[in-house]
Amino acid sequence: MSEKIEKTKCLIIGSGPAGYTAAIYAARADLKPMMYEGLEPGGQLTTTTEVENYPGYPEGTQGPKMMEDFKKQAERFDSDIRPGIITDLDVSNRPFKAKADDGSTIEADVVILATGATAKWLGIESEAKFNGFGVSACATCDGFFYKGKDVVVVGGGDTAAEEATYLAKLCKKVYLIHRRDELRASKAMQHKVFNTPNIEMVWDSVVEEVLGTEEGFNKAVTGVKVKNKKSGEYREINVDGVFIAIGHKPNSDIVKGQVDMNDVGYIKTNPDSTLTNVEGVYACGDVQDHVFRQAVTAAGTGCMAAIEAERYLSSQ
């Protein structure tokens, strides 16, 4: 029995602000895009509660609700949006070939990679319990909610240093917890941290538990339980927010060895473009952006990818 092959002009892999925006633009350009949403339909925003910094929502909105709105808009223009994941992708020859977990084999003229990135977490049960209720992996997204309050940042690299100094402008006090006795951050970032009076370093320490209250669906962080790795002593720090800043992992494994990436796996794109080193393959959103990582910038690059894909197909 011969294998059934579906054909599409434009295959979008991954959803979230980048993927859904790419679908909206591609569908309006009559590319009839096919999208596989991935393991986390809607991306990282579906783990966020309140979103107040996306234009067009003057009263703010919930992350999952916002992604539902994006999806409905893409579907309105007849995007073929499918649950599930692309398990294999070959971009060595045209048309590009993809296999999905539903058994489909797809041939695509262009591919838009919108697979996003995954925040690295500590992996403790209480962290997961309070995720979105006081535990966050994005200071620029959620810092505003902790204005005048005390917070904890966990990490020791540039990301942690940046998050701590950003939060220090908003919060009363920031505790920066690091498992070693010196930061891994660049000297310039270290200098900023050590010269910010309301940042207190908590050295040689790990967060053992996120403390909080839980009444029905109402959850709130009240502090963290920290263990000093040298002395073995425990202490509790009372805070309203916990920011995990130990990095992100770009979800780029599907094209590893096929498109150019930096040393940690973010896909490289041409300047002022979403084009990768492979003609007809575009990358947008957090899988190629390790600098801004915002919903609005992801949506912007999703728009760019669809426009570039449409222009490329028109030129063929």
Q: Which among 290, 309, 247 is positioned nearest to 113, based on CA atoms?
A: 309
For residues 289 and 298, is the Cβ–Cβ distance under 8 A? yes
State how many domains the chain has: 2
Q: Which among 242, 287, 244, 284 is positioned nearest to 264, based on CA atoms?
A: 287
Verify that 65 and 126 share a domain, yes or no.
no
* Residue that is last in its domain, among 193, 210, 244: 244
CA gyration radius, the chain: 21
Which pLDDT tens digit goes with each residue over 256-273?
999 999 999 999 999 999
* Integer Cα distance of 18 and 15 in angstroms: 7
Verify that 92 and 114 share a domain, yes or no.
yes
Verify that 17 and 108 share a domain, yes or no.
yes
Verify that 169 and 280 share a domain, yes or no.
no
Verify that 211 and 189 share a domain, yes or no.
yes
Verify that 25 and 62 share a domain, yes or no.
yes
Q: Report H helices in 115-157.
A: 125-129, 139-142
pLDDT above 70 covers a percentage of the chain that reads: 98
Verify that 56 and 102 share a domain, yes or no.
yes
Other residues' Cβ atoms within 10 Å of the Cβ of residue 103: 9
Instruction: Reply yes or no on whether the pLDDT at 1 is more than 50.
Output: no
* Residue that is last in its domain, among 210, 244, 278: 244
Tell me the average pLDDT of the chain: 94
pLDDT in the model for residue 175: 98
Question: What is the pLDDT confidence band of residue 45, given thresholds at 50, 70 and 90?
Answer: confident
* Residue that is last in its domain, among 203, 222, 244: 244
Verify that 113 and 253 share a domain, yes or no.
yes
Task: Tell me the two tokens of residue 284.
Answer: 């947008």
Instruction: Reply yes or no on whether the pLDDT at 147 is more than 70.
Output: yes
Instruction: Give the domain range for residue 213.
Output: 121-244
Verify that 50 and 111 share a domain, yes or no.
yes
For residue 261, the domain's CATH number is 3.50.50.60
Handedness of CA 238, 131, 64, 112 (dihedral sign): positive
Active site residues: 138, 141-142
For residues 310 and 282, is the Cβ–Cβ distance under 8 A? no
Verify that 225 and 272 share a domain, yes or no.
no
Verify that 276 and 291 share a domain, yes or no.
yes
